[in-house]
Structure 1
């Protein structure tokens, strides 16, 4: 197990991987349809997307947490 100090990095890593994988697949399919070589095109789009998504997730996550905190209240009894 990794120390808890790595949690923000791991969160950004996995969130960016999953989101860029799914969104690149959906957008490749929407834009090109089920063409020959679809998986190759998808994986290329995923690679490009993830290279951008990971640093963006690292930068944006603290901002999103502050926005969510500002828009919600703690559970009763806290």
Structure 2
């Protein structure tokens, strides 16, 4: 997911070309390094909330 999002964002910011292709890997690793730890923290919280909502119904 981070590859796709960073690719689209980089493409929109720079347009198609060599510069975009050169900067995309840096954008991807930056977005991944933020997204992965965020998922590790947020996922357990979301699972607990969902289980409470589903259990109530």
TM-score by length of 1: 0.57
Return the structure number with greater relative CO, CA threshold 8 A, min gap 6. Answer: 1
After superposition, the CA RMSD in angstroms is: 1.7
Structure 1: 4+ residue segments shifted above 2 A: 66-73
Distance apart, 1:70 and its partner CA = 3.5
Higher helix share: 2
Name stretches of at least 5 consecutive residues in structure 2 with no aligned partner: none
Name stretches of at least 5 consecutive residues in structure 1 with no aligned partner: 1-18, 74-78
May I ask how many residue pairs the two structures share in their alignment?
A: 55
TM-score by length of 2: 0.73
